[in-house]
Structure 1
Amino acid sequence: MLCPMSRPAAATIEHAHSSRARRGLIFRPRSITGLLLTSFGLVALPLIVAILFGVVYVDRLTDQSERLVLQGVEVTRYSKRLSTLLVGMERSARQYGVLQSAELIERFERQSRDFDEILNALGALQLDTLPDWNLDTLRRRTRDLADRLRARPTEVQSLIDEIGAMQRETDLITQQGNLFIDRELVRLQDTAADARFFLLLCVFALIPGAIALTALFVGVIARPLRQISSAVTRLGDGDFSQQIKVFAPTAELDALGARLDWMRRRLATLENEKQQFIRHMSHELKTPLASIREGAELLRDGTVGKLNASQADVAEILQQNSLELAKLIDNLLDFAAWQQQHAKLEYERFDLKALFEAIVARQRLTIEGKELDVVTPGETMDITADRDRMQLIVDNLLANAVKFAPTGSTVTLAAERMVSATTIMVSDQGPGVPEQERTAIFDAFYQGAHSQTHAKGALRGTGIGLSVVRECVHAHGGRIDVADAAGGGAQFRVEIPDRHAI
């Protein structure tokens, strides 16, 4: 097993020495810092002054922004928490007025203590817009409420009125917090404007020096940075086959290149392990599921004995949900394999009509269970694409349409040949897709507003079916969108460009 510390270090040293020997450089800084210090030694005194003032402005902006963000967020969060606690205290008081339970008094006192702790936290922020006397008044009133409820339980209504008054004071705390945020924001904007003006002066005063430094740095640093950027891009795209080499003016960048190459080898190993895990998971999940499906089908067909109506309904539910679970597993595996492997497409020419009919036949049980009428194209239409990916696209879109289509309605599969592309349309007569969800439904694991209520008691999906569809469509260079169908419901449109047009 690779040692994550020693192996990169050894590779770094070996790579650095071999690069130095290969190029035979006489002067070669050990680090980027050395190279930069050598260059910055030529910079005039005004640049140093500009840097110092820039640091002062940045530090000031940092302090003000931290105060604005940290304290502003805290005061908002605390004020909302105070309002929530007051609502809870009012609810506890009302319940105690009816039930006279000691447990409700204890809950009221716990809420009072939590309220007091939040007030202490607000006081610790030391906001000048939030006077301490206001917090002290609220603190005393809160403690008095707890004592009064225990001592005089008959005065619940007066306590509730007092809580309402405290709610108004809590709203005042929120306003004071907003006032603090507004004031700090103005101060931050003023400081930023001053810094921007000063930096503009520095830029226009030091343009000649900046041009000279740019000419120097472009030749010295640009090439290794481009090599590193290209290597990182390849790693991000999942290409681990090409060795990473960085030819740099410093040993530090050479070491970075060696570490990137170690990371490439490590990622390649992890990629292989992930693919092996996916294969094992497929076997482990599908093998017992096949037995469950077979057993459910035997029960449903009456092979092991005739079932009454209730038992037949249970067997039907078992079979339908096992089929749906198998499809969810296939979607998970397809999505994981697609994300990790980014396999290349294998183009071939095939008939879309035959593909539609085969997929409809695969989902026959679910379609017949909902008494749906599935309409497919009457004429053949050839397309050049990856058959497996196209099957995933149509299979998931049809399953989605069947899932949301009302019982006894119509689902339509259609295809249209355009100038440089083929358009596939899958329509249903279900609830449709709200406009605000028409982009998000293609994100992995997103559950739409209708996904939880479309079929009460049915197996809930994983939210990746449409994500797999989008990945497959984009791999073909196409696009997918969803709109309202002509007769109500949703219509998914997939546009697959001709291969020569990609």
Structure 2
Amino acid sequence: MQIRSLKQLVLISFLISLVPLIVLLLQSQRDFSQVSVITTDNTRLFVSVATDLQDLISASQDVQRLIKQYQVLNDPQLKDIADRSLDSFENKLDALCTRAEEFPACSGLRTAVPVLRDYHTFNDAQVVNAYLAKFEESIITLQRNVNRYVDQKVQEQQRFLTDMQARQGWSTGLLVVLSLIIILFSTQFIVKPVRKLQAIIQSIANSSQSVPAKSSSGPRELLAVEKDLYWLSERLRQLEKVRTALLRHASHELKTPLASIKEGCAILSDNLLGELNPAQYEVLQLLDNSTERLNLLVVKLLDYNALLQQAEPDLVPVNVLSVIRASADNHRLLLQQNEQDVEIKIFNTLTVAGDEELLRRIADNLISNAIAYGKKGNVIQIEGYRDEECVVIDFMNNGKPIPREARMEIFEPFKRGAEKRNDKVIGAGLGLSIVADCVRLLGGAISIEERASFDVCFQIKLPRT
């Protein structure tokens, strides 16, 4: 049967999971019916046997009394009454012995009744008393047989109830396990396409080139969502290609005229085309600064685009000290120009599980940020140490502190602080966002911490393994 909708799948799964419960209810109903029948039959049997036994005991007492009275009075009328009493006793004996199973004492009583019918021929009172004593002993034996029979029936009923309870317990446990198996099996029909959707969403989020194959069957609602996700994935892939091509072409087209403008500014600045007056030289400096700023914007934008395309870094052991030193050496000229210095306090054995290129981008941007916004003549201190679960790297410098209200959005793209840079270049607002994305790709976290000896401290925590 082809399941066409999610509603149909849930309904069928629910009905299938109810089958063991229905079986359990039917079995319980059947067992309760048997218990009811057995209880009713035994109750009726116990009442009838007790009544017949009581009547039989009363009749036996009448027989014994009348026979003794006849032996004393020898009255014909008493003989008739005694004979009728024996007939009544015999009838009650037959009713009791045939209603239930044949009791052992019944045969003795049936043998004793014909002997007692000859009571009128007994001339010796001792003989009569002996027969009556034996008769009474048989009655007591019959009473014991009836009590034993009743106890046996009660024990059989108890054993039946015990067996039924055990059977109900095993059946309940078995059917509960069966219901769970059916529920788990049924939920797979829902969980499997949902996991497929999760895999598609995950591949889209990771910008993966390969997307799981389309499903050929399943609920139409989930198939429709899957179809939309495939369309979204294809659309995003097309947009990514357009974005990459646009940035690549834009950078190429921008760098050529920028190089020409910069070369022209250099020629004019060197007075190769004639001496410039102060006003012209000032305009030339403005053009040169604008060219530098535009070039910086292009480089940062390309760098940010390359970072977004690196979704899964290759994590290998990286020596933190060597990466920080290499980054500081690249900024040596700027440090000398701003009369700044970098002090590195990191052990040579400190390693982190990361990507060397991403860690280099983090160091470059944070050192460049400290140079741009730090005080001239101050020391940029970089400390690295092991924590219980991670490696901590602190980039600290003195300068204007970052306001608390700006700390939440300072790591977002195209967001920058209101402080002026030392190099008078207007930044693109991408440096710290690149740092945050690099830290995220390495599985770490970045925050702004308070330090007593420094105005600004960017703290990075990266996993040790």
TM-score, structure 2 as length reference: 0.53
Amino acid in structure 2 at the alignment position of 1:473: V
Contact 2:382 2:394 in 1 (8 A): yes
CA offset digits 1:374-427 (Å, max 9, x no partner): 334499957564343233222222232233234x33251424343676544433
Which of 445, 453, 459 does residue 479 from structure 1 map onto? 445
Paired with 1:381 and 1:317, the residues of 2 have a C-alpha distance of 45
> Structure 2 vs 1, CA of residues 490 and 229 (structure 1 numbering), >3 Å: closer, same or farther?
same
> 1:461 Cα deviation (Å)?
2.8
> Structure 2 vs 1, CA of residues 262 and 437 (structure 1 numbering), >3 Å: closer, same or farther?
closer
Contact 2:439 2:462 in 1 (8 A): yes
Paired with 1:345 and 1:212, the residues of 2 have a C-alpha distance of 42
**Pair 1:276 & 2:241 matched:** no
> Structure 2 vs 1, CA of residues 456 and 477 (structure 1 numbering), >3 Å: closer, same or farther?
closer
**Pair 1:418 & 2:386 matched:** yes
> Structure 2 vs 1, CA of residues 358 and 300 (structure 1 numbering), >3 Å: closer, same or farther?
farther
Amino acid in structure 2 at the alignment position of 1:447: R
Contact 2:393 2:459 in 1 (8 A): yes
**Pair 1:445 & 2:414 matched:** yes
- Residue 260 (structure 1) aligns with: 229
> Structure 2 vs 1, CA of residues 377 and 312 (structure 1 numbering), >3 Å: closer, same or farther?
farther
Paired with 1:282 and 1:251, the residues of 2 have a C-alpha distance of 46
Amino acid in structure 1 at the alignment position of 2:339: L
What pairs up with 1:42-191 in 2 under 5 angstroms?
A: none
Paired with 1:496 and 1:331, the residues of 2 have a C-alpha distance of 24
Which of 212, 218, 223 does residue 187 from structure 2 map onto? 218
Task: Say which SS state the counterpart of residue 384 (structure 2) adopts.
Answer: strand
Contact 1:480 1:492 in 2 (8 A): yes
> Structure 2 vs 1, CA of residues 439 and 243 (structure 1 numbering), >3 Å: closer, same or farther?
same
Structure 1: 5+ residue runs without aligned partners? 1-26, 45-209
Which of 342, 348, 361 does residue 375 from structure 1 map onto? 342
- Residue 167 (structure 2) aligns with: none
Paired with 1:299 and 1:434, the residues of 2 have a C-alpha distance of 43
Contact 2:265 2:288 in 1 (8 A): yes
Task: Say which SS state the counterpart of residue 375 (structure 1) adopts.
Answer: strand
Paired with 1:484 and 1:454, the residues of 2 have a C-alpha distance of 22
> Structure 2 vs 1, CA of residues 225 and 349 (structure 1 numbering), >3 Å: closer, same or farther?
closer
> Structure 2 vs 1, CA of residues 276 and 434 (structure 1 numbering), >3 Å: closer, same or farther?
same
Amino acid in structure 2 at the alignment position of 1:412: I
Paired with 1:380 and 1:352, the residues of 2 have a C-alpha distance of 12
> 1:432 Cα deviation (Å)?
1.1
Paired with 1:417 and 1:43, the residues of 2 have a C-alpha distance of 57
Amino acid in structure 2 at the alignment position of 1:398: I
**RMSD (Å), alpha carbons:** 4.0
CA offset digits 1:83-116 (Å, max 9, x no partner): xxxxxxxxxxxxxxxxxxxxxxxxxxxxxxxxxx
CA offset digits 1:130-176 (Å, max 9, x no partner): xxxxxxxxxxxxxxxxxxxxxxxxxxxxxxxxxxxxxxxxxxxxxxx
Paired with 1:459 and 1:317, the residues of 2 have a C-alpha distance of 11
Paired with 1:290 and 1:354, the residues of 2 have a C-alpha distance of 31
CA offset digits 1:193-225 (Å, max 9, x no partner): xxxxxxxxxxxxxxxxx9999668524312211
Paired with 2:357 and 2:341, the residues of 1 have a C-alpha distance of 22
- Residue 464 (structure 1) aligns with: 430
Contact 2:345 2:383 in 1 (8 A): no
Paired with 2:218 and 2:209, the residues of 1 have a C-alpha distance of 25
Amino acid in structure 2 at the alignment position of 1:227: K
- Residue 230 (structure 1) aligns with: 199
Paired with 2:315 and 2:11, the residues of 1 have a C-alpha distance of 54
Structure 2: 5+ residue runs without aligned partners? 19-178
Moved more, 420-429 or 434-443: 420-429
**Runs of 4+ deviating beyond 6 Å:** 39-44, 210-214
> 1:230 Cα deviation (Å)?
2.0
Task: Say which SS state the counterpart of residue 442 (structure 1) adopts.
Answer: coil
- Residue 293 (structure 1) aligns with: 262
> Structure 2 vs 1, CA of residues 377 and 219 (structure 1 numbering), >3 Å: closer, same or farther?
closer
Moved more, 328-337 or 418-427: 418-427
Amino acid in structure 2 at the alignment position of 1:416: G
Contact 2:203 2:210 in 1 (8 A): no
**Pair 1:356 & 2:322 matched:** no
- Residue 246 (structure 1) aligns with: 215
Paired with 1:286 and 1:376, the residues of 2 have a C-alpha distance of 36
Contact 1:414 1:426 in 2 (8 A): yes
Task: Say which SS state the counterpart of residue 441 (structure 1) adopts.
Answer: coil
TM-score, structure 1 as length reference: 0.50
> Structure 2 vs 1, CA of residues 40 and 388 (structure 1 numbering), >3 Å: closer, same or farther?
closer
Paired with 1:28 and 1:227, the residues of 2 have a C-alpha distance of 19
Paired with 2:446 and 2:264, the residues of 1 have a C-alpha distance of 39
Paired with 1:489 and 1:30, the residues of 2 have a C-alpha distance of 64
CA offset digits 1:276-335 (Å, max 9, x no partner): 222222212222223333333444455555555565555445444433432232222222
Q: Which has the higher Rg, Structure 1 or Structure 2? A: 2
Paired with 2:273 and 2:392, the residues of 1 have a C-alpha distance of 47
Which of 387, 403, 422 does residue 434 from structure 1 map onto? 403
Contact 2:344 2:381 in 1 (8 A): yes
> 1:454 Cα deviation (Å)?
2.0
Amino acid in structure 2 at the alignment position of 1:357: A
Contact 2:323 2:360 in 1 (8 A): no
**Pair 1:403 & 2:369 matched:** no
Contact 2:313 2:355 in 1 (8 A): no
> 1:338 Cα deviation (Å)?
2.5
**Pair 1:454 & 2:420 matched:** yes
Amino acid in structure 2 at the alignment position of 1:392: R
> Structure 2 vs 1, CA of residues 352 and 250 (structure 1 numbering), >3 Å: closer, same or farther?
closer
Contact 1:429 1:485 in 2 (8 A): no
> 1:442 Cα deviation (Å)?
0.9
Contact 1:240 1:264 in 2 (8 A): no
Amino acid in structure 1 at the alignment position of 2:342: V
CA offset digits 1:33-66 (Å, max 9, x no partner): 444566688999xxxxxxxxxxxxxxxxxxxxxx
Task: Say which SS state the counterpart of residue 399 (structure 2) adopts.
Answer: coil
Contact 1:427 1:490 in 2 (8 A): yes
> Structure 2 vs 1, CA of residues 281 and 381 (structure 1 numbering), >3 Å: closer, same or farther?
farther
Paired with 1:363 and 1:486, the residues of 2 have a C-alpha distance of 26
What pairs up with 1:379-390 in 2 under 5 angstroms?
A: 381=348, 385-390=354-359
Amino acid in structure 1 at the alignment position of 2:202: T
Task: Say which SS state the counterpart of residue 440 (structure 1) adopts.
Answer: coil
Contact 1:431 1:489 in 2 (8 A): yes
> 1:492 Cα deviation (Å)?
1.8
Identity of aligned residues (%): 27
